[in-house]
Amino acid sequence: MAKTMFEKIWEQHVVAEPEGQPALIYIDLHLVHEVTSPQAFEALRLTNRKVRRPDLTISTVDHNLPTDDTRNEVIKDPIARIQVDTLRKNCEETGVVLYDIDSAAQGIVHVIGPEQGYTQPGMTIVCGDSHTSTHGAFGSLAFGIGTSEVEHVLATQTLRQAKPKTMEVRFNGELKKGVTAKDMILAAIGEVGTAGWTGYVVEYTGDAIKKLDMAGRMTVCNMTIEGGARAGLIAPDDTTFDWMKGRKFVPKGDAFDTAVAEWRKFASDEDAQYDELLEIDCDSLEPHVSWGTNPGQVAKITDRVPAPDDFEDPADVSSAKHALEYMGLSGGTQIEDISIDRVFIGSCTNARIEDLRSASEIVKGRTVASTVRAQIMPGSTLTKMVAEKEGLDQIFKDAGFEWRESGCSMCLGMNPDILVPGERCASTSNRNFEGRQGKGGRTHLVSPEMAAAAAIEGHFVDVRDWETE
């Protein structure tokens, strides 16, 4: 029988299906960071249990790290410092590898997994972080878990999972210049809403997906969780294998060719059946900007901010009313007329080297508006080093951007990088929830290109009209 990629990966990982219990699924790679792991390690200690497979577990520090020049000093926030030190101690005790602050491999956990070659097709990957869906770009079944489940995986290398349903999200057609992977996923979530995919694993297909580079595919899969699905998948192909080849933990030589042959088999069979299908046309897709306080509240760049009365469902009307009030916007405002105070290019959604290159094209030879503070936090220390080698840092600095260190930073503002109340930010991150980037801060989600152009102009602009050198 024809199978979907999800079914193929699932079947290879079922350890047991005891009567009346959800399936027990084997986990190939467990990513750990400082925020959601301390209570899990502590629980193991209290129950006298060990980490079953430290060799399949890797960790890094990303959420709490400062991104300014105090980075290599002791973290000033005492509670954040304890959290980071606790991870160090836990890794030392259990033999889990830690990519610490002084390592080139340090970075946002969803950036370094693929960058170092840990993330591979056909794997099951979990992390105590909802954006674990990112790794699905390689055709691995990857999803976020809570701390109790982190404990479960540390102790047993397995997870209990009810089998989800499958949905195909097919992106037809071709992206126009200036329209990106970020716009594809924002448009899709705008269409289905933030709970539209709850209970599903999404597989992204179609010509526009096939043509995306790996960074774009990671952006799409990263935001799968914003539509409510825990995992998003893209079939591995030559784009995937070319990107992976030569990375540190990817098999080398003949072993690589053997692996590629196996990896290809994970792609869904041609006549595989999904439970649902959603189609999105990319020929007419425009750059998107979020206007509200969840990632489903988005508009095209040529559009206006909607008014609450534009919605039919009473819950949507009430959501829009709250959102507009919080965002300090009124219905009918042209998106291009929204002025911004801050720009954040960073996060596990859009801080890879490819994202930085795209943003630099927009910025090159131009100057950040005098009313805007613009910052770039590369996704990993290695990404930062590569960007500097290519001279991207100079392009950004010449334009007036702050070139900072890597980490989750202002995506969620656990470190000192936050908005002050009322500040409005064009952000390449994934969530525009109330207070996400700082209490009272107003977040607009956009692509790196759109964020860069907004930094220059001081308000949102249609990057499709942008002349590049």
Partner 1 sequence: MEKFTRLTSIVAPLDRANVDTDQIIPKQFLKRIERTGFGEFAFFDWRYLEDGVPNPDFILNEDRYSDASILVSGRNFGSGSSREHAPWALMEMGYKSIIATSFADIFRNNCMQNGLLPVILSESEVDTIMARALRGSGYKITVDLETQTVTDDQGLKASFEVDPFRKNSLLEGLDDVGITMSLGEAIGSFEEKRTARW
Choices 2-10, 242-250, 304-312, 430-438; region in contact with partner 1 by CB under 8 A: 430-438
How many residues lie near partner 1 (CB under 8 A)? 64
Applying CB under 8 A, does 15 fall inside the site for partner 1?
yes
Of positions 4, 59, 67, 83, contacts partner 1 by CB under 8 A: 83
Beta carbon nearer to partner 1, 36 or 180: 36
Beta carbon nearer to partner 1, 39 or 239: 39
Q: What's the chain look like in SS3? A: CCCCHHHHHHHHHEEECCCCCCEEEECCEEEECCCCCHHHHHHHHHCCCCCCCHHHEEEECCCCCCCCCCCCCCCCCHHHHHHHHHHHHHHHHHCCEEECCCCCCCECHHHHHHHCCCCCCCCEEEECCHHHHHHHHHCCEEEECCHHHHHHHHHHCEEEECCCEEEEEEEECCCCCCCCHHHHHHHHHHHHCCCCCCCEEEEEECHHHHHCCHHHHHHHHHHHHHHCCCEEECCCCHHHHHHHCCCCCCCCHHHHHHHHHHHHCCCCCCCCCCCEEEEEECCCCCCEEECCCCCCCEEECCCECCCHHHCCCHHHHHHHHHHHHHHCCCCCCEHHHCECCEEEECCCCCCCHHHHHHHHHHHCCCCCCCCCEEEECCCEHHHHHHHHHCCHHHHHHHHCCEECCCCCHHHCCCCCCCCCCCCEEEECCCCCCCCCCCCCCEEEECCHHHHHHHHHHCECCCHHHCCCC
Cβ atoms of 348 and 111 within 8 Å: the answer is yes
Beta carbon nearer to partner 1, 147 or 172: 147
Of positions 271, 315, 389, 469, contacts partner 1 by CB under 8 A: 315
Of positions 1, 74, 79, 261, contacts partner 1 by CB under 8 A: 79
Applying CB under 8 A, does 420 fall inside the site for partner 1?
no
Applying CB under 8 A, does 253 fall inside the site for partner 1?
no
Q: What is the contact mask toward partner 1 in residues 91 to 130, using x (rule: CB under 8 A)?
A: -------------------------------------xxx
Applying CB under 8 A, does 321 fall inside the site for partner 1?
no
To partner 1, the closest distance from the beta carbon of 448 in angstroms equals 22
Give, as ranges, the residues between 140 and 199 that touch partner 1 (CB under 8 A).
Answer: 144-149, 151-152, 155-158, 160, 162, 194-195, 198-199
Of positions 54, 77, 237, 304, contacts partner 1 by CB under 8 A: 77
Cβ atoms of 214 and 239 within 8 Å: the answer is yes
Beta carbon nearer to partner 1, 216 or 413: 413
Cα–Cα distance between 16 and 438 in angstroms, integer? 44
Beta carbon nearer to partner 1, 83 or 381: 83
To partner 1, the closest distance from the beta carbon of 449 in angstroms equals 26
Applying CB under 8 A, does 42 fall inside the site for partner 1?
yes
Beta carbon nearer to partner 1, 201 or 220: 201
Beta carbon nearer to partner 1, 150 or 208: 150
Beta carbon nearer to partner 1, 55 or 283: 55
Beta carbon nearer to partner 1, 287 or 438: 438
Interface residues toward partner 1, by CB under 8 A: 15-16, 18, 20-22, 24, 26, 35-36, 38-39, 42-43, 47, 49, 52, 63-64, 77, 79-80, 82-83, 86, 128-130, 144-149, 151-152, 155-158, 160, 162, 194-195, 198-199, 225, 228, 230, 294, 315-316, 318-319, 322, 412-414, 431, 433-436, 439
